[in-house]
Structures are given as C-alpha cells and as structure tokens.
Amino acid sequence: MTPKQVLEFAKENEANVADLRFMDFPGVWQHFTVPLSELEESSFDDGFGFDGSSIRGWQPIHASDMLVVPDATTAKMDPFFEVPTLVLIGNIVDPVTRESYTRDPRYIAQKAEAYLKSSGIGDVAYFGPEAEFFIFDDIRFESSNNRAFYEIDSVEGIWNSGREECPNLGYKPRHKEGYFPVPPMDKFQDIRTEMLLTLEGLGIDVECQHHEVATAGQAEIDMRFKPLIQMGDQLVWFKYVLKNVAYKHNHTVTFMPKPLFQDNGTGMHTHCSIWKDGNPLFAGDKYAGVSQEALYAIGGILRHCRALCAITNPTTNSYKRLVPGFEAPVNLAYSSRNRSAAIRIPMYSASPKAKRIEFRTPDPSCNGYLAFSAMLMAIIDGIENKIGPGEPLDKDIYGLPPEELAEIPSAPGSLDEALDALQQDHEFLLKGDVFTKDVIEKWIEYKIENEVNEVKLRPHPHEFFLYFDI
C-alpha cells in the first residue's frame, strides 16, 4: 500500500486509532497509539517521536529522542483490540540526522537483503521458521534475594494424571508422546485452529498446525516461507497472535526454549533458500539434489554456527535445550534426513523449487530480524569464500562410538560460550555494514550484563537439593 491507500484502508475499516509498532533490541514488540486524525500522508516521512532511552539496549538518556516512521506496506487491522485499530510497523530514525538507526533490528534486516542483491549471488532470500511453543494453563515464578521458584501447570501435563479434577478424565500425553495424537488426548486443537485462522485473516500464509512432542500443550504452527523482512514482520505478528488467542481462552503461550525438565524443548527449525531471477539457487545435482552453492551455504553456517548461536539462541535458557547427548541438534554436521544434525536437507519433495536447507539449531526466543539476517550473512560468506561443509553425516549421531563423536564439532554449551564465539568471529556480519561493530558490542554487553551475570549471581533452587546438607 501507499500512504494514501493506507488512509483509505483505515477509513474502510472504520479505524479510530493507529498503533505504531517496532522491535526492541532483544526482540520484543513495542507500541504506542495515536488518534487516526494524527496520521497523515506526511506522517510516513515525518514519523512520530518517542523516548529511545526507555527501550532496552538503545539510546542514552542525553540523546533519547527518536522517531518511528511507519512503513505503509505493513498496514493491518488489529484482530484483538476493542476499538478498531490500524497497525503499522515502523522503522527507527534519528530525528537530527534523519539517518536510519543502526540498532533497529528491522533496519539490519533491510541491509542484509540489500547486501544479498549487491553481492550478485541472488535477489531474494526466503526464510521459513517452524516456531514451536507451549500453551500452559498457569505459570507462577519469582526471583528475589531470599526466594526463587517457578511452577507450571497444564490440564495436559502428565504430572496431573492423579490430580482431583472432578472428574479427571485422563488423556494426558506422556513425556515425549505428544506427536501427535488426536483429541481427546490433544486438548488444544480448536485453539490452534483459531490461531491459524487469525493469522490467515491477517494475510499470513500458514501451512499446518499440530501438537508437538512434549506433554503439557507443546505445539507448532508453520508459516509458509517468505522473503527475509516480510518473515521478520510475520514472526512478530505470529507471536502476538498466538499469545493473545491463548490469553482470550484463559491460557498462556511461551516461546521459552526449555520450560519443562525431562521433556522436549522448543526449537525454531529455519528453512532457508536463495533465488536469483526467479530461479532456485539451491537446486542442483550434488548431494541430496542440492547445488554447489547450497553446499557452500551449509559450509558457511557450520563455519560460523558457534557465533550465530549468540543471535539465534540468545538466552541462557536456550542452552538448557542445546545439551549434547539428547535430541537437540547440537552437532555441527549436515545430512539429507538425519534430524540429529544441525543442518538437514528436507526430502519431502523432488521439485527444484522446494530445495532448501534447514538450520535446526535456532530457537524462537530470538529476535527474528537479527537471526535471519545473521543466517543470511553466514550463507553469503560460505558461497563467496567457497566454504566446503565436509562430508554429510547420515549415521545416527547418538549411536556413534565416543572417538568418532569427538571429531564432530558442537554448538556452544552456554550463552557465555556463544557470546565469546561472537566476539571472536563476527567479521562476516560486518560486510556491507549490515551489522555494525556498535551493534555487536552492544549485543554482547547487554546480554552479559542483563542476562548472563544476572543468572550466574543467583543460587539455583536445585543447588539446595544438592548441597544444603554439606
């Protein structure tokens, strides 16, 4: 849409207000609302002012003024607000220089797309994330100087098989058996379908929805692949819709990678492909029907995977999922069908258009704009520098003898390790000024000060179980 068309769209839908939204540095959608009378065609150039010092990881207090400039192509009507509300995603601009803000995740994604085109490798990068999540009935947590706990509950939780529910009707998925029985074992079919239909009502193409492996309401809804920025926009809408549909039904959704002990964590397997002049670059006659460029792309991701994890798996909780010896894809290898490898080449279709690589290590706690951009930069680096991925690993990784398994590199074991890897290996992200040194430095600083150290400093409840009687 053009700005003029947006105003007409708002009028047709009887919108009374406009909601301006943007992504903060760690990856949470922010917003403020203005009367529709404040939105004019000039607003799409002039923008709206806000306090950038109150946004995590952004401006200092002495240089706090920022602008959010709405992008007319992102206009949608909010499906939840009582008052008809036009929603516009905005780009962040410095009000003095009128330059795009380097720490705006959406701007980083725009630069990544532009760099791909300038490289001559391709003209569009498609991303298709499979963002898993949990639907819980109740969540309580506290962390203070003398007390810490969390408690999760779900009508589906196998731990409630003996609970008085007046009556307890059973049908609760056992650990690792949630993939994917029909109702009444699956309690959330209708809610997931409502989520799916709400997404489609917003113009977001959905391929399927289903229960996932874990007990207690683990689920997955898959969006059809889209270009990088469009998928970045869709991922924030995705999280927003799922949380609000669940909330409407007195449930809660979390994209936390590992909320449950001794059951599957939540990943975001991400399908990637590059096209040029309408042709799929990753289709060819090499291993599993991919091209040499696709193999170099895999080599780029594997080469930089430990650094990528600081962005694609950016929480301390991410590494409760990425534990060697279990099902999570921590082994830096590739395969055509082996789901225990970090990169898989899906074999569902023989069509050249379906040829893509699937990076299985990421999780949905990430900032999609940053994660997709970082993946693309690793792919480009692999292709430009002809980084070979080595031989494919079509064996059962977890059945390998220890001496053979020791030769396979592994993803980081903690956020500290990932941030250290990013500190050592980020030159590929700086190409084309996509990620700036300031962004990398601020990301590492923010994560260490606000997450790594905050978790390190606190006793863990299980430590009392282990050590109180020493």
Q: Pick the catalytic residue: 137, 186, 212, 363?
A: 212
Q: Pick the catalytic residue: 220, 263, 293, 381?
A: 220
In the residue annotation, 142 being an active-site residue is answered as no
CA-nearest of 265, 253, 92 to 188 is 253
Q: Pick the catalytic residue: 251, 269, 271, 306?
A: 269
In the residue annotation, 51 being an active-site residue is answered as yes
Give CA–CA dist 178/214, Å, rounded: 5
Q: Pick the catalytic residue: 104, 113, 132, 381?
A: 132
In the residue annotation, 339 being an active-site residue is answered as yes
Q: Pick the catalytic residue: 19, 71, 78, 130?
A: 130
Q: Pick the catalytic residue: 358, 363, 381, 416?
A: 358
Q: Pick the catalytic residue: 14, 40, 45, 51?
A: 51
In the residue annotation, 164 being an active-site residue is answered as no
Q: Pick the catalytic residue: 106, 192, 344, 360?
A: 360
In the residue annotation, 427 being an active-site residue is answered as no
In the residue annotation, 212 being an active-site residue is answered as yes
Q: Pick the catalytic residue: 163, 339, 458, 460?
A: 339
In the residue annotation, 177 being an active-site residue is answered as no
Residues labelled as active-site residues: 51, 130, 132, 212, 220, 269, 339, 358, 360
